[in-house]
A = this chain, B = another copy of it.
Amino acid sequence: MPEKLRIIPLGGLGEIGKNMMALELGNDLIVVDAGLMFPEEEMLGVDLVIPDVTYVEERHHKLRGIVITHGHEDHTGALPYVLPKLRAPIYCTRLTRGLVEVKLKEHGLLEQAELRMVQPGERVRLGEFSVEFIRVTHSIPDSAALAIHTPLGVIFHTGDFKLDHTPVMGLPTDLQRVAELGRQGVLLLLSDSTYADVPGYTPSERIVGDTLWRVMASSQGRVIVATFASLISRVQQVADAASACGRKVFVTGRSMLDNVAMALEQGYLKTDQDLLAPIERMRGLRPDKVVVLTTGAQGEPTSALVRMANRDHRYVEIQKGDVVVLSSSPIPGNEVLINRTINNLYRLGATVLHSRVADVHVRGHAAQEELKLMLALLRPRFFVPVHGEFRHLVVHAELAKAMGVAPENVFVLEDGDILELDGERGKVVGRAPADLVYVDGLAVGVDKVVLRDRRHLASDGVLVALVTVDRHTGKPMGPPDLVARGFMEHEMSRKVLERARKVAMEVLSKGSGDRADLNARLHEALVQFVYNETRRRPMVLPLTVEV
């Protein structure tokens, strides 16, 4: 009996298979992407979220390599955390390698890492898998789809993609090779579903360039463009538009400067602008001769743009006439921060253009017609939508069925589902561990109890009850000391706690001298009393000292 192929999406906060996937065949296993996720509001105090690699770790002897499709954080950012567990060579294209190197260096891991560059069109043999990198367009250059040749057939993994026929940097998607693979026969298509609910086509990056040029040509003031640090092609467009309008570009924001430096060094950015000139040189230039390129388009609290909006940036003071362009679309959850930033910029006299009111951003992912075209070119036997919330996967699955993929060969998976395919049929055969792994400070791993406690503390604070107990009799020596934080305004808190002390004393004076019992009764009495008086439920911590 021939081996079966296993496909396992492993990471994505709500977006299935976004940050990591594992493919396994017999004695070989490869990982596609190793990205990080940003915590949701309720993950209090968590810095980052990364995929659970237990399944791969347990099969470490089979792991042949980690293949990275492109250089965005959500596909590379978990590498510093998972590499120590999964020592394996990393395969990626040139710009991606540049970005991964910057990241691994930061974590002091570059020396141990084995980074191997692959050109689009090249193939890498990883055990039974032969991975061919295929050029696709996305919002970062050097993005790749993967045609993974196996004895059972070809698996085509699109990576993140859109079909931009006139990309700002690099070449368009290698549709010829895609079509050829389709003609030869594709076993399985794994396709980007991020915008599967958007009808039509995603516009080319070009239209953003036109808008930027128009804004720079028509404004009397400075133009301040905020975008993602990794959006190298947007940087190119800003530089081009500025040059065309006789403006000088100044860059601010640490991550933006790092990426620009790397992209210049690697020859990805081509411009007559001196993008690394110190921003201090801006002083004295006429406003209509200046462009500032900055981070902070998502309202990130410590970003350069937000510091400008809060009059807290060292070199850029927002002034009347400034036009601020937010060249990104809001990531769900960031709307409030973004709106606050826009309002503060308006308060300082700036005008703000954002994606709701002007063509200052285009999506980096394929819309429905592009997804259909990919399906039409590849005509896969099996289809698994990936990189999207569950609802996007369902919509994408319906598109595939409408395009003729047999319904029983379309699988909407959740992270951790183990899909097993032979050449003929597929089945979900089990679950791999796929919990979210939280990174907080130096530790990888914050457990659910910690988060639950933090949520409790966040909502009504903490109340410590300190009881002194006679070590001989086991009896309390007086009413407890009560200390609260985050509970109520000081004076109100004092009054409530004064009465709570009396209630606590009554409870303590009854019952046995058993310490656990005493603590439990004290806890219950305080929780109840405080709730009745205030309708709040601080975390009550009874502590006992024996003397």
Contacts and interface: CB of A to CB of B under 8 A. Distances in A.
Contacts of A520: none
A98 B464 CA distance: 46
Interface centre among A447, A462, A466 (most CB of B within 10 A): A462
A391 B489 contact: no
Contacts of A389: 339, 342-343
Interface string A517-547: 0000000000000000111100101010101
B14 A442 contact: no
A481 B543 contact: yes
Interface stretch (A59-67, A88-96, A180-188, A329-337): A329-337
Interface residues of A, number: 65
A281 interface: no
Interface in A355-395: 356-357, 389-391, 394
A443 interface: yes
A457 B461 CA distance: 7
Contact of A466 (B344, B455, B543): B543
A285 interface: no
A336 B462 contact: no
Nearest to A547: B547
Interface in A313-367: 332-333, 335-336, 339-340, 342-344, 346-347, 352, 356-357
Interface of A is mostly: mixed
Contacts of A454: 457-461, 486
A488 interface: yes
A457 B441 contact: no
A83 interface: no
Contacts of A545: 466, 468, 481, 545, 547
Contact of A541 (B442, B464, B536): B464
A492 B442 CA distance: 12
A306 to B, nearest CB: 14
A283 interface: no
A340 B14 contact: yes
A343 B391 contact: yes
Interface string A435-452: 000001111011101110
A487 interface: yes
A485 interface: yes
Interface of A: 14, 40-41, 44-45, 197, 332-333, 335-336, 339-340, 342-344, 346-347, 352, 356-357, 389-391, 394, 440-443, 445-447, 449-451, 453-462, 464, 466, 468, 481, 483, 485-490, 492, 533-536, 539, 541, 543, 545, 547
8 contacts: A14-B340, A41-B41, A45-B459, A346-B391, A347-B390, A442-B534, A445-B492, A481-B545
